[in-house]
Structure 1
Amino acid sequence: MKIAAVQMVSGPDVAANLATARHLLEDAAKRGAQLAALPEYFCLMGMHDSDKLALAEVDGEGPIQAMLASAARDLGLWIIGGTLPIKSTTAERVRNTTLVFSPDGERVARYDKIHLFAFDNGRESYDEGRVLEPGCEPTRFQAGDIQVGLSVCYDLRFPELYRGYAGCDLLAVPAAFTYTTGQAHWELLLRARAVENQCYVVAPAQGGQHENGRRTWGHSMIIDPWGQVLSVLAEGEGVVVADVDPARLTQVRQQLPALAHRKLG
């Protein structure tokens, strides 16, 4: 299966972001992709964290979800819809949610980001817990012949989540890594997750200077189960594509059967 990672530099205008996402998904389909993944916050990088609260959608309704469903159906794609704000049990918090749509436009999976990012180096400060409510359930789904495990951004630092996806063919990591943390750890962690779980990784990211002043690292990439980066885009809007090859998965797992050698957990 040919897969695509979509890179964006989203801003505070939801309609503009949705139009850009649709255009890039069309490009992915033209390049032969059967599955495409959008980045975290593809629909909104607001001027303030609290902007997510006003634009949060009810689960199953809203223009963001409608765009994802129609794009999947019109383009015949499996779409991993980055993340969007979904209303939670309290008005002061939202869920940072990945929704997956099949090529017939049906929603087939939902994953709510479990680990919430916090960082303060004296120059940059972030705390997602101020507006986000964490999820608690890992989620995997079947896309044709491949099984996919879902995660989001900061989840990447918690390998126990991915161990729970043992046996998956592909791990998805939509993200909006900061420039500082991305430069230091993004590729390192992605390749580690691919190698230790002997599976492909698709990592669509935000990549550039945003209207709110934030700079994201980008470097959307697709990685094979041996840890080889198959395709990467450093910055700016665009699409990278590569193949998920069942023969390559089998080869890696047979020549080094590390998962079968596990003694703990």
Structure 2
Amino acid sequence: MSQERSLVALTQFTATSDPERNFGVIRDLVEQAKACRAEMVFVPEAFDYIGESGRESLALSESIDGPRMTKYTQLARDNQIWLSLGGFHEKVSGKELMYNTHVVVDCNGSIISKYSKAHLFDVDIKGKVSLKESDYFMPGSAIVPPVETPVGKIGLGICYDVRFPELSLSLAKQGAEILTYPSAFTVATGLAHWEVLLRARAIETQCYVIAAAQTGKHNEKRQSYGHSMVVDPWGCVIAQCREGTGICLALIDRAYIKQVKSQMPVSDHRRNDLYTEVKAI
């Protein structure tokens, strides 16, 4: 059972198509977080690599029990720290597609939960952004129940999932205290919607929202918005990474979640007789 107040760390960096280089960056950031006495580190979507093409991404993908994930579970064990690994390119046996999988690793290096991204980002805005994840990813088929960690019960999402309140409400109904959306938001959508979406999800669920993000130019075709942040249950941004590679720290206060819910009891005021209830899984 987690304590009432816990320190978390968010990482932010610019992944490339070199998994070994990316691991080295994350290892350094995790060690920084450990030195700051964080209990859990949150890593962005596509932390393992960002390929220059769908074909390259498929070629680089590995199974969840392969050598690449083994290095990350060893990293958690070596530092005795929990990791939220925000979006692993999980190879699907017998298919020319992958899952985008969020993996939670405990301080002993054991994988205790994983969730595959349900909502795929297929968008073409002329002159701004063109990306079709369904060309090389399979959508996940289930909402994963919140996982108990030293910092609270965490509901797992990934990036584009943040636009769908049905997911966040379902996780909150199942007891989530924290929602996490590791991301690689495009610059165009990030400038317009990143902060407001994260704050909205926090306000409507009365949960903390943790969103570690990719930042900067990955290659000639891809650039990410950055601005890793933590939002509290009242909708206030309480931590945010500066530009570039680094970490930020935030205190998760479970007593404050209870306080917000008691002072603004929206869950008691839902008019399920007027609209379809978001059902828990």
Structure 1 residues 156 and 145 mapped into 2: Cα distance closer, same or farther (>3 Å)?
Answer: closer
Unaligned 5+ segments in structure 1 are: none
Q: Which of 213, 225, 238 matches 2:246?
A: 238
Work out the number of aligned pairs and report it.
Answer: 264
- The alignment yields a C-alpha RMSD, in angstroms, of 1.2
**Following TM superposition, by how much is the alpha carbon of 1:234 offset from its aligned partner in structure 2, in angstroms?**
4.0
1:258 to 261, 266, 270: 266
Shift of 1:156: 0.5
Give 3-state SS (helix, strand or coil) of 1:231's partner: strand
Q: Is contact 1:72–1:101 with CA below 8 Å preserved after alignment?
A: yes
What secondary structure does 1:138 align onto?
A: coil
Q: Deviations over 1:56-109 (max 9, x none)?
A: 11232222x112211111111110111111122543110011111001111100
Q: More deviation in 136-145 or 92-101?
A: 136-145
Tell me which protein shows more strand as a share of its residues: 2
**Any idea what SS the aligned residue of 2:142 has?**
coil
Give the 4+ runs in structure 1 shifted more than 6 A: none
Deviation at 1:211, TM superposition (A): 2.3
**Alignment correspondent of 2:219:** 211
Residues in 1 aligned to 2:40 and 2:123: alpha-carbon distance in whole angstroms = 32
Q: Quickly say closer, same or farther: Cα 1:145–1:234, change in 2 above 3 A.
A: closer
Equivalence map 1:61-210=2 (5 Å): 61-63=66-68, 65-123=69-127, 124-139=129-144, 140-144=146-150, 146-166=152-172, 167-210=175-218
Residue-by-residue CA offset, 1:8-43 (whole Å, 9 max, x unaligned)? 101111100011011111111111210111000111
Checking the alignment, whether the CA contact within 8 Å between 2:8 and 2:151 is kept in structure 1 is: no
Provide the rounded CA distance (Å) in 1 between the counterparts of 2:18 and 2:208: 33
Q: How far apart are 1:192 and its partner, in Å?
A: 0.3
TM-score (normalizing by structure 1): 0.96
Structure 1 residue 122: deviation in Å? 1.1
Q: Is residue 211–residue 228 contact of structure 2 (8 Å, CA) maintained in 1?
A: yes
Counterpart of 2:271 in structure 1: which amino acid? K
Tell whether the 8 Å contact from 1:207 to 1:234 is kept in structure 2 after alignment: no
Q: Which amino acid aligns with 1:112?
A: S
TM (norm. structure 2) is 0.91
Which amino acid letter does the alignment assign opposite residue 28 of structure 1? A
Residue by residue, what CA displacement relative to the aligned partner does 1:164-219 show, whole Å, maximum 9, x if unpaired?
Answer: 11121111100000000000000000000001000101100001122243111100
- Matches of 2:14 and 2:122 in 1, distance apart? 21
Determine the C-alpha separation between the residues in 2 that align with 1:176 and 1:182.
9
AA partner of residue 209 (structure 2):
V
In the alignment, what sits opposite 1:21? 26
**Greater Cα shift, 231-240 or 9-18:** 231-240
Deviation at 1:118, TM superposition (A): 1.3
Give a deviation string over 1:227-248, Cα, whole Å, max 9, x none.
1101112421111110110121
Corresponding letter in the other structure for 1:246? R
- Alignment partner of 1:60 is 2:65: yes
For structure 2, the residue ranges without an aligned partner over 5 or more in a row are 1-5
CA contact (8 A) 1:198 1:253 kept: yes
CA distance in 1, matches of 2:74, 2:64: 16
Residue identity opposite 1:216 in structure 2: S
**Alignment partner of 2:86: what SS?**
coil
